[in-house]
Structure 1
């Protein structure tokens, strides 16, 4: 069947070491995968290098109809504190909020030398503006226009071009903040202005201010990056206007939305969200019954839980010790990647991370000048990785360089040989990932023995079996393209925007008409932005939620309203919402208080616009399957325990037909990843070409 016009859909995930690209042809479901080195100084270059690889393989750039991108550009800018200089305008008399914050502290409660993170907008760049609205949004003191202009001029004088505006109760009445932006832009035409009433229009002053400051700090970084990437795509001939960024909530948003309306903070977990979304969309019954995802790349390992076919979500969180209260997939990240550097501390103990060799110079075995031993060097020394087949043979690994780095920096100081040093590094990183999963599960009351571990990323399937054994997990699912799984996740999601408005009121005092009016305003704003982004309104769905709490509580629960109304809310809808809240409270916290009054804290709307997605295709076992021996590439000596050599058969994954099985010890190699099947494990290929590993020891 011939297809005319643009047809390809491209997903791109930029990691710390490699940039992964997946190109989908919806006509036949075929996937093309490219993996190139990341370019940390300008990540857009790595993306464009990958696109040029597809062009070299015969793909016409103007045939790419859809471009979706997961990026760590804002995350890395925050971690490395290289965002923009930020000014803050705040209601007069409240400049200390950023210093006091929420009075909570992270880390060791007994640390006498504890210090809070340096403020994003120091007191020298904070300006108090005479204005005031009350808790109902009524104006008590008009905005002082001249004070705003004077503050803008002073900030301009010292080079500030990004300004956060956070006035009291602006989430109920944003007029003063909106007027402030107009005045700022009259004084500084090229300013980036982040309004708390747009970034996070909800209660809790510090959370709202912190999130707004983060947006102001990072927006110029993202705008510059998107501008550079847009220009590069245009010059490369990728003319599609359907260009999207992955958000922390697992949905995508157009490039245009990312640089307007205070949405930069929604990209802070953009990178790892793609893999979690792919896990939920592509794993079928496993996603329904429970998955633990392990995305182990070059710099870090990201962990998420999938329950009931969807990733768990949170609305409050921390990143780099800073409060960030936006909807995000519930994930945790640790410094346990292939590029994590091993070292011996002052007490003579072996450590792995948090520093990473990254893409430049990379692990010692890459031969790019790196001399410090990494997890990848340990994997090479133990025989897990084929030095002649890394990235399908596109990159050769220097085994001797890896062994030398391990001996000099680990073996000699600890009086170990190379294999003991390598085994120790692997043991530490595997235990760290297992411990993080164990704690994550304990907080959510999950029985891991009934869950399936889904590893991906370049190193995930290398370490998955060891992590599973630590957790007593019996089943592992390795997807067909684990090394590019996060990039594939960008082709498995919808356009999603979240909207919120806080208004404290007892639920019994809320009329259906009042609630319906608030939802109508939020949905009208969503529709306006949808049209401005060039999306089709008829494809939109609106999902409503209430944030509810028992009166007197200091926290609330998101309570979905789906199934509780038709067309418009009724009194029965609100009564049912109360009952659903009680049930959710009992499920999450183990108890409910049906006799206590309930308070509405916030109204939420999620806009979802469906876009075509990648759908896996089931394949029946062939009538005459190829013999497993046909996929055998040879053998390799592997040190599973760091001591005893084990002759291990090596298979090419593409040579394994549906329904075939392989018993460990074995290694399955493919272009983008390596899967280790230790002794006691067995693997089979299911009808979706997943590799299912099961613990078989008797």
Structure 2
């Protein structure tokens, strides 16, 4: 199950087949809608909730806290002299040439300055030796202040704790003595790496989103139990792996990008099913669009220097994607200067677009699609969601058309054109700006609104064609059943590899064994036998004095004088691939070792559809209605039931393919070909593949 800003999507695989369902997201408490969706999809499949064996969940709870700035009031205990690290940051200007810009880590601090308390202690590099003991009374005094201010979420971040975490661990013991039940985060546990600002920021973010996220996850688990679901609940993490409720409740920074991660995994799996390795996924829901470039079926993980959430650096592995405020619920408006804008503000599910009839009066992208005849009011969610075309038309006319002196149709076309261009710019930032040529890629639009925009986006970025998944509106949920269990642990090991000797190699090998043990313990606690565990260790390296690290491959077995060069060679190769150059003779520093433990889960199997028997596609024809396309043409356009199309069927445009969870637009001059699993390739007519 995948919770979005507007709808909660569910997919269920049983012996009888695969079932898909959507329910409105309950924004006040997402778990209410999730449990209701689980009940309904089990009824559809004819099974009892007690028969469910595995549940995997993608959640936006932690993400929404950072967007809405409504996290916990946090207190921080840090080293004397470093109280203002979270305020100073890295002196990076978000916009180099602007005199008027927002600095998120200052305007929306995760921990207010008055709640950051500095205490005496000092651990010194490079060995992690204790130079000055921790002032335990100062920690107790800080707790007294926190209690007085009603603070129950505490961050502990000391200098060089990544070399020796003794002071942080002792400080936690004291905090829990003084403040039983407090939510405590140690910087050495969530980001045991070099760089104090990023480490402190990650720890602060964990405590900021932690209490609410932990409450949501445990509340959901309890509600599912009450509904008769006895299976383990898994949560997808930002890196695409799944973890347990306990692990994610303790370290919610791991699930800040939980929601979008499932879509990228689902998109990669759909590309494999279609025999297409290069895809650009565009997950367009009600509130946002998440865009990711997948070359050769390889999902990319962001470089740690780019992992920012709401302007704050968070050192946790995340799938490489770009999120913008563009979705079916994005509101169109005219600003004070007379400019025509769409998004990022969204109508969400309450009140939702004007056409929902729930009191919304502002025009949205969904309303524009109805005005243009691309969405049929009586066919939304297979007829389960009644839409009001007159309310949509009225909203577009009053708020956009009349003020700009446009016809209602032109105003609606303008809304679609603006939102498509916003998304095209985001696609370019994740592809062209990184040296990837979109002409070699297929656009894969999904989410409830995605396939209505697919061809326009492909034209805007010159992609070769459009691939529409089997169940576009549920693809992110399908992705959750295509992933594996995954845990990660890091340890700082700062060593100059070129000049390393036997002692340094022993340090590396000891750290590797420790990390492997930590990961193996987590997998074992999750019921994974040692034989089923897969543990990989990567080295995060840099050129001497360089700002950030890149991942390099570690040799099989212990590091020795004979194989240490393989680490530096791997780093040079990665640097060449990422930046286009490398310095083969330069000194290479190992900074961090990262162990990644995974265990395979059973993957969902999408059934193939019947091959065409040569019969007419009229078997899938539902009705014909007028539809306006991007070039301004209004044409009589047939609607087809996508579920009744066979593998090999070719539908000529103009056409609209309708299914319960999404609608696919096939403009004039294009054809839609149904592929083996019921997925669809939309391409230019005459462009045989």
Shorter-chain TM-score category? Answer: over 0.9
Q: For 1:536 and 1:67, how far apart are their aligned partners in 2?
A: 20
Equivalent in 185, 202, 206 of residue 215 of structure 1: 206
What is the rounded CA distance, in whole Å, between the counterparts of 1:104 and 1:229 in structure 2? 40
Using a 3 Å threshold, how does the CA distance of structure 1 residues 400 and 59 change in structure 2: closer, same or farther? same
Q: Quick one: distance in 2 between partners of 1:288 and 1:326?
A: 30
Change (3 A) 1:668 1:619: closer
Long gaps (5+) in structure 1: 1-11
CA distance in 1, matches of 2:515, 2:168: 18
Conserved 8 A contact 2:264-2:479: yes
What is the deviation of 1:603? 0.6
1:414 pairs with 2:407: no
Work out the CA distance in 1 between the residues paired with 2:237 and 2:348.
23
Which of 111-120 and 597-606 deviates more? 111-120
SS in 2 for 1:353: strand
- Per-residue CA shift, 1:239-294, capped at 9, x if unaligned? 11x2111110011101111122xx21011100000010112233217676311000
Give the drift of 1:232.
0.7
Report what 1:258 is aligned to.
248
Question: Once the 2 structures are TM-superposed, how far is the Cα of residue 130 of structure 1 from its aligned partner?
Answer: 1.1
C-alpha deviation, 1:531, in angstroms: 2.9
Count of aligned pairs: 678
> 1-side partners of 2:460 and 2:188: how far apart?
46
Q: 1:219, 1:259 within 8 Å by CA — same for their partners in 2? A: yes
User: Which residue of 1 is the match for residue 316 of structure 2?
Assistant: 326
Q: CA deviation at 1:645?
A: 1.5
Structure 2 partner of 1:592: 582
What's the counterpart of residue 668 of structure 1?
A: 657
1:164 aligns with 2:135: no
Which residue, out of 6, 28, 31, partners 1:17? 6
Distance 1:442 1:401 in 2: 40
Cα offsets for 1:597-621 (capped at 9, x unmatched) = 1111111111111111113344562
Report deviation, 1:513: 2.8
Structure 1 equivalent of residue 643 of structure 2: 654
CA contact (8 A) 2:373 2:627 kept: yes
1:502-651 alignment runs, 5 A limit: 502-508=492-498, 509=500, 511-561=504-554, 564-565=555-556, 567-619=557-609, 621-622=611-612, 624-641=613-630, 643-651=632-640
Alignment root-mean-square deviation, CA: 1.6
| Structure 2 match to 1:140 | 131
CA distance in 1, matches of 2:3, 2:102: 34
Which structure 2 residues correspond to residues 359-378 of structure 1 after superposition, within 5 A?
A: 359-378=349-368
CA contact (8 A) 2:519 2:535 kept: no
Tell me which residue corresponds to 2:63. 75
Cα deviations by residue, 1:185-205 (Å, 9 ceiling, x for unpaired): 011111000000001000111
Distance across 2 between alignment mates of 1:593 and 1:641: 50
Q: In the TM superposition, what is the alpha-carbon distance from 1:95 to its structure 2 partner?
A: 0.6
* 1:152 aligned residue (143, 158, 166): 143
1:684 to 662, 668, 673: 673
Q: Which residue of 2 aligns with 1:7?
A: none
For the residue of structure 1 that corresponds to 2:575, the secondary structure is helix
Contact 1:455-1:464 within 8 A present in 2 as well: yes
Partner of 1:71, secondary structure, is: coil
Question: What's the CA shift string for 1:10-63, capped at 9, x where partnerless?
Answer: xx00001100010112x46x1111100011111111101101212433320110
- Find the aligned partners of 1:129 and 1:626 in 2 and give their Cα distance: 79
Distance 1:639 1:438 in 2: 27
Which string of whole-angstrom CA distances, capped at 9 and with x for unpartnered residues, describes residues 646-677 of structure 1?
11111000110111101111100000000000
What is aligned with 1:4?
Answer: none
Shift of 1:450: 0.8
Q: Do 2:95 and 2:101's aligned partners in 1 also have CA atoms closer than 8 Å?
A: no
Q: What is the aligned partner in structure 2 of residue 188 from structure 1?
A: 179
SS in 2 for 1:68: strand
In the alignment, the residues of structure 2 paired with residue 112 and residue 683 of structure 1 have an alpha-carbon distance, to the nearest angstrom, of 48
SS at match of 1:403: helix
Determine the C-alpha separation between the residues in 1 that align with 2:607 and 2:357: 40
Counterpart CA distance in 1 for 2:205 and 2:380 is 39
| Aligned residue runs from structure 1 range 110-509, under 5 A | 110-112=98-100, 114-115=102-103, 116-135=106-125, 136-240=127-231, 242-260=232-250, 263-284=251-272, 289-314=277-302, 315-316=304-305, 317-508=307-498, 509=500
SS at match of 2:107: coil
Equivalent-residue separation in structure 1 for 2:473 and 2:111 (angstroms): 39
Per-residue deviation, residues 113-162 of structure 1 (Å, max 9, x unmatched):
64433322112111111111011211111111111112112111110100
Alpha-carbon distance in structure 2 between the residues aligned to 1:568 and 1:228: 45
1:312 Cα deviation (Å)? 1.1
CA distance in 2, matches of 1:93, 1:494: 43
Return the alpha-carbon distance in structure 1 between the equivalents of residues 530 and 360 of structure 2: 52
Task: Quickly say closer, same or farther: Cα 1:286–1:604, change in 2 above 3 A.
Answer: farther
Whole-angstrom CA distance in 2 between matches of 1:162 and 1:641: 52
Deviation for aligned residue 1:570: 3.5
Deviation larger for 583-592 or 195-204: 583-592
